[in-house]
Amino acid sequence: MNGTLIRAATLLMISLSAFAQAAPRLEAGLAARDITPEIGYGHYRGESTGVRDPLHAKAVVFRQGDEAAALIICDIIGAPRALVTRIRSRAAEETGIPFEHIGVAATHTHTGPDYFAELRHYVEADDAGELPEELAGGYVAQLIEQTAGAAVDAYEAAGPVSLEVLRTEVANVSFNRRFLMKDGTVRFNPGRLNPDIVRSVGPIDPEVLTLFVWGGDGAPLGSLTNFANHLDTMGGAEYSADYPYYVEEMLRDEFGASFLSMFGLGAAGDLNHTDVASQERLTSQDIGEALGEAIRENLDGRGEFSPVLGVKSRTLFVPMQDYTEKELEWAREYASQTLYAERSFLQRRRALKLLSLHAARTGEAIPADSDGASLAFHEMHQPAIPPAASGEPWVLPVEVQAFRLGPDTAIVTLPGELFVELGLELKDRSPFQHTLVIQLANAHIAYVPTEEAFRQGDYEPVNSRLAPGGGEAMIDAAAEMLEALHDGLAGDF
């Protein structure tokens, strides 16, 4: 390190010390509310048959001086913009936390409620000001109320706290699910012990980051754990929070029954729990206990830091995939068409993707123009008039949030199911030593593959709504925001 860098580092350390003495003390609160539907309500795999373990909306609120932020994470498979907007608006109104400082993410559990059809009916009726009794008292209304309520509870419970962060690794419970095959193609989930597999084409992210929140009296309040592995490990039609449930059970064994464990899913769009080289199947309990035990065994490695709260939010306008009129017609009647020579599973996913793209043009998406970035935030909620099916390009507004907690710790929320390569790139580019990357936040936009994965093809690119390069644009924006937050440390003292 040269003399200039040494002097800069010394000045920053002096500034941090001065800030720690003069800054308002950080306050934080955590809370959870039950969002488990009644048995018989829709389930990702059909009608629900029971409750394996309850589903929750969990929230953490941070306050320091004039700055405030909230992160809410729900045990649901996805968090569509229409749902998230209502939750954030209600939480902002009741707490005073700015809308753009509130993040809402889904854990992506595949054993949660299928509420999407009810949400569409709810939004249509709510926008028309004619919400019928069955929707006003239905599951979606309760989900909005309980999820926003968790943030309000956390805000009201906030008090002086200290924060610690712990980094460890677990490498034997997640696997990249995309493989190069002997015929030169890339396949996702090609099956256990498939002799045509050559090798995996992607990495994993073994990092487990856990943020601990301690009360002013040193009592353990809760934690936020960040790890990248698909939440599709439980199976069956009972409601379950999947492997994060077992993480919480392990931490409660350590810290007491009132300890609240939050879980933020890392970039896991191309990861799952299947080891194709083995016939043995990892269970949700295996995975959750492996993570929980790794945290418990390394508790001595956690480090306290001086909190410096800061929040940034940016909305990007990312190009969407296009389609032709012929493709749209095929999607509407795909069962009798052979426009694409793919296995039936991928044909169905392609058809659903095309219909989703078409629906987005009357909802979230907007036509691109010469100055698309200048469109105001509220405009993205206005209905757009679609041009010809293969006419001018369309863009999708996506929000990236960055929460600075201290000189070496930050949280980033991103929409969609990001490929692990994107998450690893963001961590590598982040100026913060510990960067929690949480996906599936503030909108439900399906898969976000890398440009290389788009060239390789198969399930995730077929199912993606974004044009190639959208994921890289999101990572560029997030990295710039983290740099700005880190550079702003000296200015915040």
121 and 44 assigned to the same domain: yes
Give residue 377's pLDDT.
Answer: 32
Contact (CB, 8 A) for 175 and 199: no
Q: Is 4 domain-assigned?
A: no
Return the DSSP state at 41.
S
180 and 247 assigned to the same domain: yes
In this structure, what token pair is assigned to residue 289? 């206990």
What rounded mean pLDDT belongs to the chain?
A: 90
Total-model pTM: 0.90
176 and 46 assigned to the same domain: no
Contact (CB, 8 A) for 317 and 366: yes
Give residue 339's pLDDT.
Answer: 64
d(CA 410, CA 307): 10
Helices first, then strands: H and E counts in the chain: 13, 25
Which distant-in-sequence residues (6+ apart) come within 8 Å of 256 by Cβ? 220
Give residue 361's pLDDT.
Answer: 86
Instruction: Choose one of 367, 392, 417: the last residue of a domain.
Output: 392
Which distant-in-sequence residues (6+ apart) come within 8 Å of 13 by Cβ? none
pLDDT at 368 over 60: yes
Higher pLDDT, 358 or 91: 91
33 and 100 assigned to the same domain: yes
Q: Is 101 domain-assigned?
A: yes
Query: Which segments of 145-196 are extended strands (E)?
Result: 159-169, 175-176, 178-181, 186-188
Q: Is 44 domain-assigned?
A: yes
29 and 67 assigned to the same domain: yes
Q: Is 6 domain-assigned?
A: no
475 and 388 assigned to the same domain: no
For 118, the enclosing helix (H) or strand (E) is helix 116-127
Would you call 431 helix, strand, or coil by DSSP? coil
Q: Is 29 domain-assigned?
A: yes
- What pLDDT, in 10s, does the model give residues 175-214? 999 999 999 999 999 999 999 999 999 999 999 999 999 9
Give residue 6's pLDDT.
Answer: 43
Torsion of CA 455, 456, 460, 465, to 10 degrees: 10
d(CA 291, CA 88): 30
Among residues 153, 146, 151, 143, which one has the least CA distance to residue 79?
A: 143
What confidence category does residue 390 fall into, taking pLDDT thresholds of 50, 70 and 90? very low
Percent of the chain with pLDDT over 90: 78
Give the number of domains in the chain: 3
What confidence category does residue 393 fall into, taking pLDDT thresholds of 50, 70 and 90? confident
The boundaries of the domain holding residue 429 are: 163-233+243-309+401-492
- What pLDDT, in 10s, does the model give residues 325-340? 888 888 888 766 666 6
Q: How many CB atoms lie within 10 A of CB 349?
A: 17
d(CA 395, CA 361): 9
Instruction: Choose one of 158, 185, 205: the last residue of a domain.
Output: 158
Give residue 388's pLDDT.
Answer: 32
Q: Is 16 domain-assigned?
A: no
Please compute the mean of the pLDDT values over residues 208-222 and round it to a whole number. Answer: 97
Q: Is 12 domain-assigned?
A: no
In this structure, what token pair is assigned to residue 128? 């028309």
Q: Is 297 domain-assigned?
A: yes
pLDDT at 380 over 50: no
d(CA 322, CA 135): 34
d(CA 429, CA 337): 45
168 and 149 assigned to the same domain: no
89 and 212 assigned to the same domain: no
Instruction: Choose one of 158, 174, 202: the last residue of a domain.
Output: 158
- What pLDDT, in 10s, does the model give residues 259-307? 999 999 999 999 999 999 999 999 999 999 999 999 999 999 999 999 9
What confidence category does residue 392 fall into, taking pLDDT thresholds of 50, 70 and 90? low
- What pLDDT, in 10s, does the model give residues 398-427? 999 999 999 999 999 999 999 999 999 999
